[in-house]
Chains A and B, each alone.
Chain A
């Protein structure tokens, strides 16, 4: 009899708020909010009780309008910021028995460097624009404990080749590259330690169509050949349709709907998802 493999990552009741909260908004069951904003005290509830699982080899799409909490979720999972409350478990880390958000910052650094890779919408956040491209990749490998320069260089040029950056330009800084190339250097960097999980935050937004196609094909290839699990944030339903097995729809910091991607697109249940799907050109 077949078995469904257990999730590689589980997130439970993740909350992130900006502001202290007040009587009107502290209780998550009966908050009085204007979208995700408390008018009484000005607190913003960016992520509210988010729970989901990511399965091995799966691409989980996350869609939603600007301000719906997608990027806050991604930042929280990569420890770029602290969560207010919540739990996250990674199967490859202590067999998924420990809440990552409660680990020391040193351990969190370890997780970032060994088990995850992240690609930001804005390459400035993910790369040191003035360093060489190979140096950017080496940085992540050094952070993970690598010390063998020759091995790192070999791995770095292999990765750059994989993302179609000519190896003879590997010593050049990303600031000299086009947006699409910068994005591909970011992907190479994120992949350097063979992470089982990739976090992709609007990686193709702002790229022109042919360059976008290039990056998308690369991601598809990574999924198929390397079986990396990915969280893919995008507001572009075309990108989601092409890449995601399942999709989660966010609005005002909450998940309003999740399901198989073709079901979300053809039979959306929630009013917001219907509006989103019907907004497709």
Chain B
């Protein structure tokens, strides 16, 4: 099967003009994802894990290298150099991004947040309403919260809402940037179930997790960053099982 995503020699650095500094965040990164895979990235903080994810989502502009993505709409394209219009379309329909921080519109209720995500994809109001209810129930978000502002939610509730919003779009590729950081065990378990459902749904995922056990339990393959380099790590799960 052809790779859904394949990164070739990606480098990203930041030039801070007022400090006259040049900071290298990721250097010569290459990795690939096959369709339907769940791949994890591990490494120390500051090793460039998030940078890679943000380059894929184009929140960061890569300096060099290619990010080949097999798009449903546009065929094989390089996310590193695709036009902004293409990226906007892909974000609407194909690529999702979830971090531990919920970036919400102020004065938008949980229900509206999910609803808007569906309408944005071009569905009508009625369908959006149905799907919203389904999704919020599915994520076990307490009914009393549906019509309140997410700014008042607990960390776990915010995250579930965040994933709900990403999942309702049924993205082909989902980027997970430490979504479980700062969650308690119960909430983590819920997130884990959600990820398993996404996998069953066929979503390809690339994720960063601090909780190695959590990640290794789920992922098909794992990349490690050591001294700024990416290595493909043997999957740990088989070892654990063998022992």
Which residues does A use to contact B, with CB under 8 Å? 1-2, 4, 55, 58, 213, 217, 220, 224, 242, 245-246, 259-260, 262-263, 266-267, 269-271, 274-275, 278
Contact = CB atoms under 8 A, between A and B. Distances in A.
A259 B61 contact: yes
Contact of A263 (B15, B61, B119, B120): B61
Contacts of A58: 88
Contacts of B60: 263, 266-267
Contacts of A245: 88
B58 interface: yes
Q: Name the 4 nearest CB pairs between A and B, nearest first.
A: A2-B73, A271-B17, A4-B85, A267-B60
Given A217-B107, A271-B17, A55 B59 contact: no
A213 B89 contact: no
Interface in B1-50: 14-18
B18 A271 contact: yes
Contacts of A260: 58-59, 84, 87-88
Contacts of A259: 61, 84
21 contacts: A1-B73, A1-B74, A2-B73, A2-B89, A58-B88, A217-B107, A242-B105, A260-B59, A262-B59, A263-B58, A263-B60, A266-B54, A267-B14, A267-B59, A267-B61, A269-B61, A271-B17, A271-B18, A275-B17, A275-B18, A278-B18
Interface string B186-213: 0000000000000000000000000000
B233 interface: no
Contacts of B119: 224
Interface string B64-83: 00000001111100000001
B105 A1 contact: no
Contacts of A275: 17-18
- How big is the B interface, by class? 20 to 34
Nearest to B25: A267
Contact of B105 (A55, A220, A274): A220
Contacts, number: 57
Contact of B84 (A217, A224, A242, A246): A246
A251 to B, nearest CB: 13
B241 to A, nearest CB: 40
A274 B74 CA distance: 33
A263 B107 contact: no
A178 B213 CA distance: 58
Contacts of A267: 14, 54, 59-61
B56 to A, nearest CB: 13
Nearest to B51: A267
B106 A55 contact: no
B148 interface: no
Given A224-B119, A260-B87, A266-B59, 9 more contacts: A220-B105, A245-B88, A246-B84, A260-B59, A262-B59, A263-B59, A263-B61, A270-B17, A278-B18
Most buried by B among A1, A4, A266: A4
B236 interface: no
A4 B14 contact: no
A213 B104 CA distance: 14
Most buried by B among A58, A259, A263: A263
B86 interface: yes
Interface string B116-141: 10011000000000000000000000
Nearest to B116: A224
A40 to B, nearest CB: 29
B116 to A, nearest CB: 7
A1 B14 CA distance: 35
B211 to A, nearest CB: 25
B75 A1 contact: yes
Contacts of B58: 260, 263
Contacts of A274: 16-18
Interface string B138-150: 0000000000000
Contacts of A242: 105-106
A4 B83 contact: yes
A245 B87 CA distance: 11
Nearest to A55: B85
A2 B90 CA distance: 10
